[in-house]
Amino acid sequence: MLEALKEAVFKANLELPERGLIKYTWGNVSAFDPESGYFVIKPSGVDYDTMTADDMVVLDLDNNVIEGDLRPSSDTPTHAVIYKNYPDIRSIVHTHSPWATIWAQAGLDVPAMGTTHADTFYGTVPCARFLTQEEIETAYEHNTGELIVNTFKERNLDPMAIPAVLLHGHGPFTWGKTPDEAVMNSVVLEEVCRMNFYSRQLNIYAEPLPQAILDVHYLRKHGKDAYYGQSKK
């Protein structure tokens, strides 16, 4: 079942350590199939050196295992909540990448300070609040997903224009239309967090990117009149 999607999710998971985004098993990638209504995610705590595409777990959006012999990632309920609320999101990545996690542990949003940020994220990447004691005790992973969704709603943000979030004290989640895109967004987020840290070290008064430059760089890649790259034939 969903063999091609399993292979894509497997390969995307392998890319996380290759890109320096995780150590050991500190991360996961999933992808959603709109036709079946199921999603595929890596199994929990399985070593990347021994993991195979057949180990990927297929679930429905109520977290019921449809296919797979291994326990799915502990973050599965978080992924399910995001897919339920945002049908345009087709893949999700969670890591504890160092630079993004530094910003998450500081409880800081990631402002758009340069065009590297603007090419991918159309504005500030938000840092969500800590979960409450009740949210932790009732359904920690599910409520993490709810917190992500509510953060975007409360701040009136478009999750497709800003495909990333930080969780205070935890780490980043990113997403996209494909596993490759979701992983790329994690890589970009890690880089801009590193760049912003050093920029603020050099100049604590460094200003965010002017809106006009943010517009040009984001829209030339993602707007209706985008002209970056080659035309698709």
**Which residues are the active-site residues?**
119, 228
Q: Give yes or no for a contact between 99 and 190, defined as CB atoms under 8 angstroms apart.
A: yes
What whole-number distance in Å separates Cα of residue 28 and Cα of residue 43? 9
94 SS3 class: strand
Amino acid at 118: A
Other CB atoms within 10 A of residue 88 CB: 11
Cβ neighbours for 59, distance < 8 A, ≥ 6 positions apart: 38, 39, 40, 41, 65, 66, 68, 72, 76, 80
What whole-number distance in Å separates Cα of residue 45 and Cα of residue 215? 41
Structure-block tokens of residue 64: 């019921």
Single out the residue of 176, 174, 173 nearest to residue 222, CA to CA.
176
Cβ neighbours for 232, distance < 8 A, ≥ 6 positions apart: none
